[in-house]
Structure 1
Amino acid sequence: MTRALFIVDVQNDFTEGGALGVDGGDAVAAAITAHLARHAEEYDVIVASRDWHDGDGDNGGHFSTSPDYIDSWPVHCVAGTPGADYDPGLDTSAVTHHVKKGQGIPAYSLFEGVTDAGETVDDILTAHGVVEVDVAGIATDHCVRASALDAIAHGRRVRILTDLIAGVAPAPSQAALAELAHAGAELVATGDGDRPAADVGEGER
């Protein structure tokens, strides 16, 4: 059975000190690196996504000077800037495919991204016969949620690696994990990092 790992948006603007920094983001980067050191060979495909927004314009309403933090946000992850780079604590040497999303439009799911060669994530998974997907990254209540739901919708069996994710806020992160479990995702902790697992009963800690 072939398996993929999704590493969702572990970028400087989403970790501590970034434009939309999430508490625990750096720890997630380090924990994913530890997980890859132990388990990279277990994955046939490792896909890492990045927001890669246009520097000009509002990217289809995604950027706003008065954001609601639901559908609109402050400027972040502009293509080619340090904020769009991977967090330095994330070792990407084992990543097989890098995808960029949100170029001129809002984009949350990793499935909305493409590689520099124009491949979609569904194309990649289908080409490799992937039936199982593990999901890690940032943020639990936004892009992790959207990516995992799309993986389920595309017919893959999904595990959320609960100690390799970080959310924006506890309540919506808890709700996202409950929604994912209801949709059929399995919530599991890897034990590969020092960060405690998110708990569907308690939310992000």
Structure 2
Amino acid sequence: MSRALFIIDVQNDFTEGGALGVAGGNAVAAGITALLAEHPDRYAHVFASRDWHDASGDNGGHFSDTPDYVDTWPSHCVAGTPGAEYNPALDTSAVDVHVRKGQGVPAYSIFEGTTTDDSDVADVLERLGVTQIDIAGIATDYCVRASALDAIATGRDVRVLADLVAGVAADSSAAALVELEAAGAEIVTGADE
């Protein structure tokens, strides 16, 4: 039985100045780094996901020249570009499981990705004996939400670190946290233990 931290999509394209930058993204990156520095033994495992979209094509309808910002988006987090890299304020030295998602298809949840050795995230959690998952990252109303719902569906205890997430819009982010709490997640802050 162990606890893992999921760091969801803290990438240059999702933080201020990026293709789909959200307000507060840089602060989330710095806050996660501070959390891990202040509590180095809190997590047995740290997972970090990244959108890692194909350079060619529309990525299964995910990219559009006329995006609706609900189901379609402008090009972002293209594999091998600076926008797909982790935000420089995020210290990834504690990350032991890197996950890439959205390769050729839309993907919001970390569970839709694969690890760098092509393992399924759910299988890795099982192998590592993870029973509790804390979730931080971007965006509260999309990838954090989807990842938390999928984590809850695996039967694990899930906490969303509300002070270490940033969303696309205030209303949809608040609604996502209400939905996640109703689904069984605990909404806490990174300082909570």
1:191 Cα offset (Å): 3.7
1:71 Cα offset (Å): 0.6
Q: Which residue of 1 aligns with 2:187?
A: 187
- What is the total number of aligned residue pairs between the two structures? 192
State the secondary structure of the residue aligned to 1:58.
coil
Q: How does 1:7-156 map to 2 (within 5 A)?
A: 7-156=7-156
Structure-2 separation of matches of 1:116 and 1:138: 21
Structure-1 separation of matches of 2:172 and 2:54: 28
Unaligned runs of 5+ in 2: none
1:44 Cα offset (Å): 1.4
Structure-2 separation of matches of 1:31 and 1:117: 28
| Conserved 8 A contact 1:29-1:87 | yes
State the secondary structure of the residue aligned to 2:31.
helix
Question: 4+ runs of 1 displaced by more than 2 Å?
Answer: none
1:90 Cα offset (Å): 0.1
1:171 Cα offset (Å): 0.5
The Cα offsets for residues 39-85 of structure 1, whole Å up to 9 and x where unpaired, read as 23221111000000001000000000011111100000000000000
The Cα offsets for residues 116-139 of structure 1, whole Å up to 9 and x where unpaired, read as 211111111100111100000000
Structure-1 separation of matches of 2:85 and 2:13: 8
Structure-2 separation of matches of 1:139 and 1:89: 17
The Cα offsets for residues 26-48 of structure 1, whole Å up to 9 and x where unpaired, read as 00000000001022322111100
Structure-2 separation of matches of 1:123 and 1:42: 22
Q: TM-score, normalised by structure 1?
A: 0.92
Q: Which residue of 1 aligns with 2:165?
A: 165
| Conserved 8 A contact 1:138-1:166 | yes
State the secondary structure of the residue aligned to 1:137.
strand
Structure-2 separation of matches of 1:168 and 1:138: 8
Structure-2 separation of matches of 1:40 and 1:114: 25
| Conserved 8 A contact 1:19-1:74 | yes
Structure-1 separation of matches of 2:122 and 2:41: 21
Structure-1 separation of matches of 2:7 and 2:41: 15
Q: Kindly, what percent of the aligned residue pairs are identical?
A: 68
Unaligned runs of 5+ in 1: 193-205
